[in-house]
Structure 1
Amino acid sequence: MKWFKRILLLLILLIAVVVYLNYPKLNIISGYASKYMASSVTIGGHSPAYINQNDLKMPLIELATTEYSEDGASADVYGLLERKAIDRNGLGSVLVNADYKEDQNYLQPNRNKKFDSLPYPMGQLPPKDSLFPEIDYSKLEKAISLAFSNPEVQKTRTLLVLYKGHLIGEKYEEGFTKDTPILGWSMTKSILATCYGVLQNQGKINMDWPAPIAEWKDDERKEITLNHLLRMQSGLEWSEDYSGISDVTKMLFLDSDMTKAQRIKKAIAKPTEIWNYSSGTSNLLSGILRQQFRSHQEYLDFPYEALIDKIGAHSMIIEADLEGNYVGSSYAWANTRDWARFGQLYLNQGLWNGQQLFDKSWIDYIAKPTTNSNGTYGAHFWLNNGENYPDVPKDMYSMNGYQGQYVFIIPSKEMVIVRTGLAEPPAFNANEVLSGIVSAVE
């Protein structure tokens, strides 16, 4: 009997230790689940049942019990640490905390959703039926279908191909259409960078300017420029680990103001000495972008007025944190066709229906390899160093997001390829799919 009591006591102690060590993680888990549920219902248009059965079936995240009601989404893990996310018109969904006041007024961006008489992708009319003699259409169809050939592993949801500004192929899994908004995750970083390109073209900002951070003016961080931040080579401390409690998960699922997380970090190297991918840096840049405007309203309007609605990407929405800062690291949604518009804008070298939104030199800038990134990163865009995509033209660069969201831009082939889904390499063989599509054009 004594041995039984001792074993029982040890078991209780063991459970207590496990709970103690993992209790903070539950906050992140329930935060992720409730935030994702709220956005996927209100923006993505999916049912709560669909989200629970598909998107939230992930290690650890599936431990959460997640529900949706008119008041928003809520999640907890075994009844512990319930988190709630609500929708704010024009700003997307956001996790709330003890500081949130339900009667608090908030600004929202003004949108100008013009529906012109041009065919997609340059306008809102249906795409033209175009046949190119240099395209092997059966080979193209086979390559596109390859991305959907093993759905339980690849988990591809949508795929679209533009060639010379014409839609030549697209495919959607059940439950998704050309109108379904999809979370781009870190593809949002490239949207944020493009905002800087637009400001530069307007003569309002220079990438070599020191970052305008008051806390840095009296220490070594004063040497950090906007260029260093856009290239993730600031030398600032940051942990981008999604498997547990880290800088990035605390920022995304605990912080009311996500622009501060990277701002307060110390320098662990001089600028350019190391390359360290950081979502905190992107949200810091979102905060710096806000500083460029006289009012919060001007900041909220700018991405839509100067870029997003300008190219007709009317399905896009960038979600904001509780303090009204765009979450430039992670939270832009758009349908597949609108994601492709951004690729086409870059193929057009910043020119859209006669208006130069950013200078041609901006493409050379964002596609220039960053020191110490092994040729894989430019300025908030990813590059093809020949290792991950050995059978794809070397000049390809891309917008990349968690779980395999991509906008691939291939200038030498005049192609834009968009793929969205719930799995990334190696589960989804991007090189094989891309090379199959590219090789269909002689």
Structure 2
Amino acid sequence: MQKVTNTSYTMKLLKRVLLLLLVVIGVVVYLNYPKLNIISGYAAKNVASGVYVADRSAASMNQYDNSAPLIEIASTEVNKNEESASSTVYGLMKRTAVYRDGLGAVLINDDYDPQALTIRPERNQTPDTIPYPYGQAAPLDTILPEVDMDQINKAMAMAFSEPETQKTRTLLILYKGQLIAERYINGFDKDTPILGWSMTKSVLATCYGILEHQGKLEMDWPAPIPEWKDDERKNITLNHLLRMQSGLEWEEDYSGISDVTRMLFLDSDMTQAQRDKKAIAKPTEVWNYSSGTTNLLSGILRQQFRSHQEYLDFPYSALIDKIGMYSMVLEADIAGNYVGSSYAWASTRDWARFGQLHLDKGNWNGEQLFDSTWVDYITKPTINSDGTYGAHFWLNAEGKYPDVPRDMFSCNGFEGQHVFMIPSKDLVVVRTGLAEEPYFDVNGVLSNIVKAVP
């Protein structure tokens, strides 16, 4: 009799434990199910862009680029016939990204109409015989006697050491407008397009510098947003937006569902997310890094042109193709806006051209693309940024990197994408990879490079 009672009690206990376990699993799934949309969306978009923009294999993209925490649980497949990639998480929350020639890949949703956007940016990729970086010919192979190449090699070795943690993919150094060193891991070379992530912000900002030089806008103009004209947001200027000091509400958190992840992986029109936010401070009172602000600026840039075609053409005709960045592709959202916050692809050599343009203060082969004072503007520290931010460019004004000159400014992107410009040393350094500080030692690598030149 006692044995039967004990067995019955054990069975009841087991049922309760199983019920509790099911409840816990249900709660976990309920709380995290919306995140699956972001996870599968990230995975699909990343693979589609890598395959169709960078000509990488889906296997390589899945093994390396999608190996980040949470993203690695997504399963992604490519449909070559439809030029698309689709991802799920344990069979749930399928997301698909499609490739559009000239506009890159885009995550689709119920708003997507493949016939709605048929125009593409017109490119002018004229070959020339000028040596790299100012032209398309091979770089000069002369050795600059003042450069300590042993020191350069030491810096290179340091950047590629500990490959499992530093995850450096490419490193390139220009000195006095001449290529003095470059190195690539297997699977990458001088022509491989690499996603710049937030380095794209600096490209978008440079379009504003060009328009200012052309006399078509000024940085102190109020942002032309009709919805703001009757409230406190009417005082926000283009300058405030470029400096990330508009005072608008924004959450830049990639660890879960936030303003930035909703925008990048759910929105059809990414220029709206920041536009719709309320002011939580007056302009200049706070500094708040916001990818939504950059995409709002992309929308404002579009307003400067009479047609969508002119908007799509402008970054290429006025900047990208003008300086020979022929590998660069700016990706657009469903509504046809450039995703200026995050989605520019270019080879390491072409990212270096962008850096050289700024080191030369906008002069490219004798043509002034933006005013020389624009570099002074973008490198002026923004209030409340602790000397780390100018106008869509990062700074070393307060010595964040103690062994690197204070005049260094840079384009920075997720997972350690960098274009460093050091005017006092006449250096441009491009580093790309899959890990950032503290895994990649920016101060250590740059300080070693700096020691190699006078």
Q: 1:406 aligns with which of 418, 422, 430?
A: 418
Contact kept, 8 Å, 2:388 with 2:400, in 1: the verdict is no
Structure 2 Cα separation of the partners of residues 428 and 74 of structure 1: 32
Q: 2:126 aligns with which of 101, 105, 114?
A: 114
Structure 2 Cα separation of the partners of residues 32 and 177 of structure 1: 25
Matched, 1:169 2:200: no
Q: 1:28 aligns with which of 26, 30, 38?
A: 38
Partner SS for 1:346: helix
Contact kept, 8 Å, 1:234 with 1:270, in 2: the verdict is yes
Partner SS for 2:345: strand
The one-character-per-residue Cα deviations of 1:68-126 (angstroms, maximum 9, x if unpaired) are 12121000111111000000010000000012123444211000001111000000000
CA RMSD of aligned residues (A): 0.8
Partner residue, 1:79: 91
1:429 deviates by: 0.2
1:389 deviates by: 1.0
Partner residue, 2:146: 134
Q: 1:271 aligns with which of 283, 289, 299?
A: 283
Structure 1 Cα separation of the partners of residues 409 and 171 of structure 2: 17
The one-character-per-residue Cα deviations of 1:369-388 (angstroms, maximum 9, x if unpaired) are 00000000000000003443
1:44 deviates by: 1.4
Q: Which moved more, 1:379-388 or 1:288-297?
A: 379-388
Structure 2 Cα separation of the partners of residues 246 and 307 of structure 1: 32
Q: TM-score, with normalisation over the residues of structure 1? A: 0.99
Matched, 1:51 2:61: yes
Contact kept, 8 Å, 2:246 with 2:284, in 1: the verdict is yes
Partner residue, 1:326: 338
Partner SS for 1:175: coil
% identical equivalent positions: 69
Q: 2:433 aligns with which of 421, 426, 441?
A: 421
Structure 2 Cα separation of the partners of residues 75 and 109 of structure 1: 28
Contact kept, 8 Å, 2:397 with 2:408, in 1: the verdict is no
Structure 2 Cα separation of the partners of residues 121 and 55 of structure 1: 28
Structure 2 Cα separation of the partners of residues 228 and 101 of structure 1: 35
Q: 2:137 aligns with which of 96, 120, 125?
A: 125
Structure 1 Cα separation of the partners of residues 14 and 158 of structure 2: 58
Structure 2 Cα separation of the partners of residues 142 and 67 of structure 1: 41
Could you say which structure has the larger radius of gyration? Answer: 2
Matched, 1:9 2:9: no
Aligned residue runs from structure 1 range 190-339, under 5 A: 190-339=202-351
Q: Which moved more, 1:82-91 or 1:67-76?
A: 67-76
Q: 1:393 aligns with which of 405, 424, 439?
A: 405
Structure 2 Cα separation of the partners of residues 130 and 270 of structure 1: 54
Partner SS for 2:446: helix
Structure 2 Cα separation of the partners of residues 259 and 144 of structure 1: 40
1:132 deviates by: 1.6
The one-character-per-residue Cα deviations of 1:169-220 (angstroms, maximum 9, x if unpaired) are 0000110000000000000000000000000000001000000001000000
Partner residue, 2:3: none
Partner residue, 2:47: 37
The structure-2 alpha-carbon separation of the partners of 1:105 and 1:395, relative to structure 1 and needing over 3 Å to count, comes to closer
The structure-2 alpha-carbon separation of the partners of 1:163 and 1:74, relative to structure 1 and needing over 3 Å to count, comes to same
Aligned residues: 442
1:197 alignment partner AA:
G
Off by >3 Å, runs of 4+ in structure 1? 102-105
1:141 deviates by: 1.2
Alignment gaps of 5+ in structure 1: none
Alignment gaps of 5+ in structure 2: 1-10
Partner residue, 1:64: 74
1:7 deviates by: 1.4
